């Protein structure tokens, strides 16, 4: 599965999938003034049910400013 976020600035977050699997996602490119899109690969073996639960936790005090997310898988 691909998780895409449109954001401003840099971020460091933890993505938790189905309350079981964790993945750190750090994005160093980007600017506070420009929208950027970043892509995270979520391993297929983490998608074990018809519905997938995604939790996001910010890891730094810096502001995380996402506009929206979208997901796709083949």
Distances (CA, A) of 16 to 24, 33, 54: 9, 28, 6
Q: In the prediction, which pLDDT does 32 show?
A: 80
Give the number of domains in the chain. Answer: 1
Q: 2 or 33, which is more confident?
A: 2
Number of Cβ within 10 Å of residue 19's Cβ equals 8
Kindly report whether the global pTM for this prediction surpasses the value 0.75.
Answer: yes
Boundaries of domain holding 7: 2-72
**What is the chain's mean pLDDT, rounded?**
90
Q: Rounded mean pLDDT of 50-72? A: 89
């Amino acid at each position: 599965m691909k998780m895409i976020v449109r954001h401003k600035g840099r971020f460091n977050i933890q993505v938790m999938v189905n309350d079981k699997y964790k993945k750190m996602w750090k994005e160093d490119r980007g600017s506070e003034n420009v929208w950027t899109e970043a892509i995270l690969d979520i391993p297929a073996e983490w998608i074990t049910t018809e519905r997938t639960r995604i939790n996001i936790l910010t890891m730094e005090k810096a502001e995380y400013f996402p506009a929206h997310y979208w997901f796709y898988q083949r």
